[in-house]
Amino acid sequence: MKLILTQEVSGLGAPGDVVDVRDGYGRNYLLPKRLAMPATPGALKQVALMKRAREVREIRDLDQARELKTQLEALTVTLPARAGSSGRLFGSVTPADVADAVHAAGGPKVDKRRIELVGPIKTVGAHQVNVRLHPEVTATVNVEVVPAG
């Protein structure tokens, strides 16, 4: 099934990319969530216009992403979480928690969908979190999880 992505899909592509996916994945996931639209001849013409506009934007966004990367990597992010006496958290730290902590630490507003946790954060201590700012730029943020209270 040929589809045109309308939003960035991790591991598949960026908006405006024409992708060939399995029928079930397209019909049951991408189309209902409006992440893609069918690749019709008229839509393919629109894709060409979208790609030209995106190329101009990407050059500007790449410079901005590099600036954000230096800001994020210079931050020390402290994230309070409920924990037991052994240092194990009640629950885990989510990308939304990390995004809020980065903003609270004086950093830029980061979209939680761009935060990639290497594994679930379930312990107190220092952890590294990747933030995808641009397809070519990924920042590594040091997050210190401390017991709350």
Instruction: Retrieve residue 146's tokens.
Output: 């401390």
* Per CATH, domain 68-147 is 3.10.430.100: yes
2-5/36-38 β-pairing: antiparallel
Render pLDDT for 58-89 as a digit per residue (tens, 0 to 9): 667 788 888 889 989 998 899 999 999 999 99
Q: Which residues on neighbouring strands pair with residue 110, listed in sequence order?
A: none
Task: Give the rounded distance of the alpha carbon of 118 from its chain centre.
Answer: 13
**Residue ranges of the domains in the chain?**
2-63, 68-147
Say what the pLDDT of residue 118 is: 84
**Section 104-114 average pLDDT:** 88
Residues 6+ apart with CB under 8 A from 128: 118, 140, 141, 142, 143
Q: pTM of whole model > 0.75?
A: no
* Per CATH, domain 2-63 is 2.102.10.10: no
Torsion from C-alpha of 82, 97, 102, 64, nearest 10 degrees: 160
> Contact 110/77 with Cβ under 8 angstroms?
no
**Section 98-125 average pLDDT:** 90
18-20/125-134 β-pairing: unpaired
